[in-house]
Chain A
Amino acid sequence: MTARAQPIPYALHGAGGALESAAAWLLAVLWLLPLLYAVWTAFHPAEFSARFVASAPLTLKNFVQAWHAAPFARYFLNTFVLVTLILACQLVLCTLAAYAFARFAFVGRELAFALVLLQLMIMPDVLIVENYRTMSWLGLVDTIPGIALPYVASAFGIFLLRQTFKSVPRELDDAARVEGAGPLQVLWRVYVPLAKPVYLAYALVSVSYHWNNFLWPLIVTNSVEARPLTVGLQVFASTDQGIDWSVICAATLMTSAPLLVGFLLFQRQFVQSFMRAGIR
């Protein structure tokens, strides 16, 4: 055995490699530019919002002003409650359904599964008119459960967990049953612990999706008490009161900050979660 490292085929080297690295970096800078632009504008006084001089003084005034101009504290609370409610319900419902599909050969299973997968194509995002009618019939317009309900039974979550549960060895299942565990105990003690990485992946995808979701919350809410951040930001930014761009940029950064910070801290988990969630 030679200890010398094999040259990696097609690794970048020489002038061509340098050129490609430069191109990759250029694209990366281009991709971050809008965000950097917003950061610049938010942290400088309004007169520097489009003037890039090194001597521009830094300020937090824009954030203070934005915070007081709209009930952002309430919006943060609403989004937090919304995202938590959706995730908690999704985890329970999808786990139960996925367990049924993975381990119970009940009559009509194939048909039921096809009906579930239908949601991957017919998403709640598109059925806004009818779902609004259902919500007003249920008296849930302008409430946080009203925003959450259409997304709680997630076909994607059921599909993802079903795949995971199916890969759990039968022997573990049987062993637990021999010890006298009922079906729900088996689920809780065998399947759920083994699926932890998938739960994490699904949770990250779900939280970022619903933190960012806009159209349905916009339609179904009309008061400060129910509005999530995205809708609150839009209401704030579209009022024609001559609000400075720098204040809007500050508000924009503020609403994205929790996700952005979470992403920067847990970059690897985020990327891997999105990967795991995407591979079928």
Chain B
Amino acid sequence: MRRSAYNLYGWLLLLPAMALLALFTHWPALATFVDSFWSTPKLRRASTFVGLDNYRSMLSDSVFWQALLNNLMFALGTIPISIALALIMAIWVNDRIVGRAAVRMAYFTPTVLPMIAVANIWLFFYTPQYGLLEQVLSLFGARAHNWLGSPETALACVIVVAIWKEAGFFMIFYLAALQQISPTLAEAAALEGASRFTFFRRVQFPLLMPTTLFVLVNAVINAFRTIDHIIVMTRGGPDNATTLLLYYVYEVGFKYWDSTYAAALTVILLSLLAAVALSQYVLLDRRIHYR
């Protein structure tokens, strides 16, 4: 084929996918940015350019700050625990424990269930009086507590659900990586008399670093985009205690219909995601051991 034919063919093959990407990813991302500098059109007032007004009102919007703080707490609460659990699960399932196929299935099952469905189950789990949690706690003589209804405990409750849903998913990646570690390494370490923990700390864990990075990035992204369980379990309440950033975008955009303020909030959310992606390349890549 001639060069120009190559060009033409390449672009023709790419065209359908690129057109849709442009329409539903690139264009909306740009439009979000532009819209955030305009006012939301009201009944009689057309949209006008307001510069940084949306961002200025964001600075004095206590709900925004709380959503941001909640989201950071949510990320800090879910990410380390779910990754640590995933690693432990993978090591257990990788070792020859009895009935490991069943154990692996148990860990992975939450991943295939719809978040919306499991959130309903967990909602019942946390219900005051009837809920399983209350029943178990009352056996130990604990006082009745409305877990999802109190601002102090609601966020922790949704964090637990997120950990439960994600750990088994991340386990899969660790499991795949563990299976690629050469068995001769274990033999060599055993000959040297290294304890099992030393083998994990000095051999397995460093070799798993690329996987940890991959899982970490996914975990951070998920912490900022998963709000299904919030919609089912708390609707951001009580008193905004479980309002996450994307949930706030959803509320502002589709309950108050303030689309340009929602756009400004989306810009913040996108910048956070971009920062995560950038730090993946800049900060973490250097410190990771690649074979």
> A residues touching B (Cβ–Cβ < 8 Å)?
6, 8-12, 17, 20-21, 23-25, 27-29, 31-32, 34-35, 37-38, 41, 49-50, 92-94, 96-97, 99-101, 104-107, 109, 112, 115-116, 118-119, 121-134, 149-150, 152-153, 155, 158, 183, 208, 211-212, 214-215, 218-219, 229-230, 233-234, 237-238, 245, 248-249, 252-253, 255-256, 259-260, 263-264, 267, 270-271, 274-275, 278-280
A212 to B232, CA, bound (A): 14
* Cross-chain contact of B13 among A23, A32, A100 (Cβ < 8 A): A100
* Cross-chain contact of A214 among B19, B107, B114, B273 (Cβ < 8 A): B114
Say yes or no: B17 contacts A158, CB within 8 Å: yes
Q: Known: A118-B26, A270-B112, A274-B172. Contact between A126 and B266, CB under 8 A? A: yes
* Cross-chain contact of B102 among A8, A28, A260 (Cβ < 8 A): A28
Nearest-CB residue, chain B, relative to A219: B254
Say yes or no: B122 contacts A34, CB within 8 Å: yes
Say yes or no: B95 contacts A129, CB within 8 Å: no
Q: Is B202 an interface residue (CB 8 A)?
A: no
Given A35-B113, A212-B113, 16 extra CB contacts under 8 A: A8-B183, A31-B164, A32-B106, A97-B13, A97-B17, A100-B10, A126-B224, A131-B24, A153-B18, A183-B1, A233-B114, A234-B232, A237-B120, A249-B124, A259-B114, A267-B105
Say yes or no: A129 contacts B114, CB within 8 Å: no
Q: How far is the CB of A59 from chain B (nearest CB, A)?
A: 18
What are 30 A-B pairs with beta-carbon distances under 8 A? A8-B186, A12-B97, A28-B107, A50-B130, A50-B131, A96-B13, A100-B14, A104-B9, A105-B10, A106-B10, A112-B14, A118-B26, A122-B270, A124-B25, A126-B246, A126-B273, A128-B253, A129-B262, A130-B263, A131-B24, A134-B24, A214-B228, A215-B250, A233-B114, A233-B116, A234-B232, A248-B124, A259-B112, A274-B111, A279-B173
Q: Count residues of B near A (Cβ-Cβ below 8 Å).
A: 98
* Cross-chain contact of A252 among B8, B96, B121 (Cβ < 8 A): B121
Shortest 7 CB-CB distances between A and B: which pairs? A106-B10, A104-B10, A130-B28, A9-B190, A28-B106, A100-B13, A153-B20
Nearest-CB residue, chain A, relative to B195: A10
Say yes or no: B121 contacts A212, CB within 8 Å: no
Say yes or no: B105 contacts A34, CB within 8 Å: no
- Interface of B, secondary structure class, is helix
Q: How far is the CB of A99 from chain B (nearest CB, A)?
A: 6
